[in-house]
Amino acid sequence: MNIINIFTENLYKNWAPDEKDLIKKTKTMLEFYIDTLYSESCLYNKDFDSITLDIVLCDSQKTHEYNREYRGKDYPADIITFAIFADDENSFIFDGDINLGEIVVALDKVIEGVNRDISHSKNKEQELYFLISHGLLHLLGFDHQEEEEYNFVIKKQREALERINYDKI
């Protein structure tokens, strides 16, 4: 297995998920995706020694800004991914490292979804990992424009979440 570097930044003041646990669980899910989806991912046939990605935890005001500026959509999102390597045909591998990109999660939207019972999860920690598992798939080049793609993404998310004992979080 290659080296996986995950950098986190929490800009949200009202909740600070355990950073070590966040990195550990994210690595576990990413390793699962690489093991099972490598040949279908943006990593296929690439020569690399390490993978880097960033996770930014913020509020919905920040995702609203990003959504408006980069996607032309005027609303806050619970998650936005910037898939640097998967989305750029001219992506390069620098010193053996692939920078997959960035996952941006609005923690206030996570909390709001769980409190209003409109999330996929029973608590905010579960919802955070559900969103990160989804973001990882986007960073690896997977999308869900069609129903078949959506079902595939959800199935893979469930499998990745099993690896981190999602039901016990």
Cα–Cα dist 38/34, whole Å? 5
Q: Residue for token digits 């093991």?
A: 35
What is the model's pLDDT at position 53?
A: 98
Domain count of the fold of the chain: 1
The per-residue pLDDT for 121 is 85
Dist. CA 107–CA 143, nearest whole Å:
23
The tens digit of pLDDT for each residue in 70-113 reads 999 999 999 999 999 999 878 889 999 999 999 999 999 999 98
- Dig out the tokens for 104 from the structure: 């941006």
pLDDT band of 165, cuts 50, 70, 90: very high
CA dist., res. 85 & res. 139, Å (int): 7
Task: Write down the pLDDT at residue 135.
Answer: 97
d(CA 97, CA 79): 25
pLDDT band of 116, cuts 50, 70, 90? confident
Report pLDDT for 1: 60
Tell me how far apart the alpha carbons of residues 4 and 67 are, in angstroms, rounded to a whole number.
27
Structural domain harbouring 124: 3-168
- If one counts every other C-beta atom within 10 angstroms of the C-beta of residue 152, the result is 16
Record the tokens describing residue 26, joined without a space. Answer: 């994210």
SS3 for 55? strand
Residue 81 maps to which CATH number? 3.40.390.30
Percent of the chain scoring above 90 in pLDDT: 85
